[in-house]
Structure 1
Amino acid sequence: MAEPSFVIVGAGLAGLRAAETVRAEGFAGRVVLIGDEPHLPYDRPPLSKGVLDGSRSPDSTRLRDESFYVDNDIDVVVGRRVAALRPHEGTVELADGTIVAATKVLLATGGRPRTLAVRGADLPGVRLLRTLDDAVAVASELDPGAAVVVIGAGFIGAEVAASARTIGCEVTMLEAAPIPLGRALGPDIAERYGAHHRARGVNLRCAIGVDAIEGTRRVQAVTTTDGVRYPAEVVVVGIGIVPNTELADAAGITLGNGIVVDETCRTSNPAVFAAGDVADFHSTVVDRRVRRESWQNALDQGAAAAMSMLGKGSRYCETPWFWTDQYDLKLQMAGTPEPTDDVVWRGDPDSGEFCAFYLRDGILTGAVGINRPKDVRAALALIMAHKAVPAELLADPSIDLRKATR
Structure 2
Amino acid sequence: MGICMQKPKKESSTKKEQSPMATYETKEKEPAQLQRPIRKQHVRLSVVPSKTPLANIDSDLLTSVKEAITKSEKSHGVPEDGQNESKNSRILVAGAPHEGRQNGFEDKRIRFEGENSNMSYVSSIGVGIACKKGLKEDPHNQDDFTVLVDKAFQFFGVFDGHGAYGHEISNFIHLLLPKLIIKHEQFEENIHEAIIQSFLRANSSLVEHCDKPESTYDCMMSGTTATTVLIRNGHIFIGHVGDSRAVLCLKNGENIEAKRLTTDHKPTLAGELQRIQACNGEVKQLPDDVPHRIFMKGKDYPGLSTSRALGDAIAQMVGVSPLPQYEDVPIQDNFEYIIMCSDGVWEFVKDQEAADTIAKSGKNVRQGAQNLASLAWQRWITNEEDVVDDITVLAIHLPSLLK
The interval holding the TM-score normalised by the smaller chain is under 0.3
> Larger relative contact order (C-alpha < 8 A, sep ≥ 6)?
2
Bigger strand share? 1
Larger Rg belongs to: 1
TM-score of the aligned structures, taking structure 2 as reference length: 0.26
